[in-house]
């Protein structure tokens, strides 16, 4: 047991060293150029991945950063928030999030069907855009008819356009004169991955981060019921098809998909909000936690940027890319309308 654990740690070490160097470089860029360290991290990751700097040995460590370090940073982000801010979202905000999510989920699938793309690819892109990016795609993949290439393409699309949001939405927000609350709500409802939401909001202003995170985590919490609903619908379709063929419905094989009702890192995030509310933590402790949060999120964003592979996006041709572009515009537009209305 200990031997396997040591082997696992050894496999992570090269990638984590690269991630540490990238975090240092991103922090330096933040200090010298005045850009967000998170933005610098995702750009550095994308560049490194596509010029061939990242080899196979560093892959496990970089993926560990993209998933686990990123989520650890989100957990610490909870220490920035208070219950007053959580209550500020209100029922109007929750209703708005649900409306945008459903509009995106069904609208993107309809668009994919009109464009002649496969049902499986449409489902995965719709899931990633509407809920929480690559992790939502991975959760929905077993219930889709998409092959491995289509799954990779869907992940590439949500990673690419979520990363582009970091660079473009702050400029649009400033051009429109959006308040911090409105921009944060817009980003939380319209950007795909949790880390991308964090980076986009922080690139706009520190005050935009709280509403962005609250709205985004509301979307994340809807992943489980969405996957469950798709699973039920698919089981009914398969049962109906089997019945038409004269096969017993009990013999229908439906894959098991185990998705927690609330992802663990969301529980941790909420726990940190509760801890902040106790008043037990000193100002110095909160500053230290904020610094650790920034480092962890920057590490995660580097790993996330490393997932953007241009060659992977080329393989399925232009129509899926067009689907990604149009869906990105639709999601951003619908989320902006919602944000303006509820704030």
Question: Considering just the CA atoms, what is the radius of gyration of the chain in Å?
Answer: 20
With a pLDDT cut of 90, the percent of the chain lying above it is 34
SS (H, E, C) the chain: CHHHHHHHHHHHHHHHHHHHHHHHHHHHHHHHHCCCHHHHHHHHHHHHHHCCCCCHHHHHHHHHHHHHHHHHHHHHHHHHCCHHHHHHCHHHHHHHHHHHHHHHHHHHHHHHHHCCCCHHHHHHHHHHHHCCCHHHHHHHHHHCCCCHHHHHHHHHHHHHHHHHHHHHHHHHHHHHCCCHHHHHHHHHHHCCCHHHHHHHHHHHCHHHHHHHHHHHHHHHHCHHHHHHHHHHHHHHHHHHHHHHCCCCHHHCCCCCCCCCCCCHHHHHHHHHHHHHHHCCCCHHHHHHHHHHHHHHHHHHHHHHHCCCCHHHHHCCCHHHHHHHHHHHHHHHHHHHHHHHHHC
Highest mean pLDDT of the ranges 10-19, 211-220, 314-323: 10-19
CA–CA gap between residue 66 and residue 58 (Å, rounded): 12
Q: Are 42 and 305 in contact (CB under 8 A)?
A: yes
Give me the residue label for tokens 């208070």. 82
| pLDDT higher than threshold 90 for residue 42 | no
pLDDT at 90: 76
Give the mean model confidence (pLDDT) for residues 36-53.
85
* φ, ψ at 137 (rounded to 5°): -60, -45
pLDDT in tens, 143-163: 888 876 787 788 878 888 988
Kindly list the distances between the CA atom of residue 233 and the CA atoms of 159, 214, 236, in Å, as whole numbers in the listed order. 27, 29, 5
Task: Quote the tokens at residue 71.
Answer: 């989520």
**∠ CA(50), CA(29), CA(13), 5° rounding?**
55
pLDDT in tens, 228-276: 788 778 777 767 766 666 554 444 444 444 445 456 777 787 788 889 8
CA–CA gap between residue 33 and residue 43 (Å, rounded): 14
Higher per-residue pLDDT: 215 or 307:
215
Give the mean model confidence (pLDDT) for residues 202-222.
85
The band of 2, judged by pLDDT with boundaries at 50, 70 and 90, is low
* φ, ψ at 263 (rounded to 5°): -55, 150
């Amino acid at each position: 047991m200990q031997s396997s654990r040591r082997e696992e740690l050894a496999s992570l070490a090269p990638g984590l060293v690269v991630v540490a160097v990238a975090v240092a470089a991103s922090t330096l860029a933040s200090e010298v150029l005045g850009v967000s360290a998170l933005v610098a991290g995702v750009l550095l990751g994308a560049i490194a991945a596509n010029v061939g700097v990242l080899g196979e040995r560093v892959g496990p460590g970089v993926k560990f950063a993209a998933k686990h370090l990123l989520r650890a940073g989100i957990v610490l982000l909870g220490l920035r928030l208070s219950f007053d801010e959580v209550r500020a979202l209100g029922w109007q905000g929750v209703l708005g999030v649900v409306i945008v999510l459903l509009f995106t989920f069904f609208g993107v699938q309809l668009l994919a069907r009109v464009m002649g793309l496969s049902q499986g690819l449409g489902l995965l892109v719709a899931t990633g855009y509407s809920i929480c990016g690559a992790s939502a795609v991975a959760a929905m993949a077993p219930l889709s008819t998409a092959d491995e290439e289509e799954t990779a393409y869907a992940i590439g699309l949500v990673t690419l356009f979520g990363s582009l949001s970091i660079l473009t939405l702050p400029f649009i927000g400033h051009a429109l004169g959006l308040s911090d609350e409105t921009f944060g709500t817009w980003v939380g409802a319209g950007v795909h991955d949790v880390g991308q939401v964090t980076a986009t909001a922080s690139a706009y202003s520190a005050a935009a981060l709280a509403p962005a995170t609250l709205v985004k985590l509301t979307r994340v919490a809807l992943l489980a019921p969405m996957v469950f609903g798709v699973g039920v619908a698919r089981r009914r379709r398969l049962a109906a098809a089997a019945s038409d063929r004269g096969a017993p419905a009990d013999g229908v094989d439906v894959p098991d998909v185990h998705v927690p009702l609330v992802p663990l890192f969301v529980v941790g995030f909420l726990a940190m909000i509760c801890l902040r509310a106790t008043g037990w933590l000193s100002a110095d402790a909160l500053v230290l936690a904020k610094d650790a949060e920034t480092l962890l999120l920057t590490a995660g964003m580097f790993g996330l940027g490393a997932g953007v592979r241009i060659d992977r996006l080329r393989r399925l041709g232009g129509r899926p890319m067009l689907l990604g572009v149009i869906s990105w515009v639709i999601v951003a537009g619908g989320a902006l309308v919602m944000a303006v209305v509820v704030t």
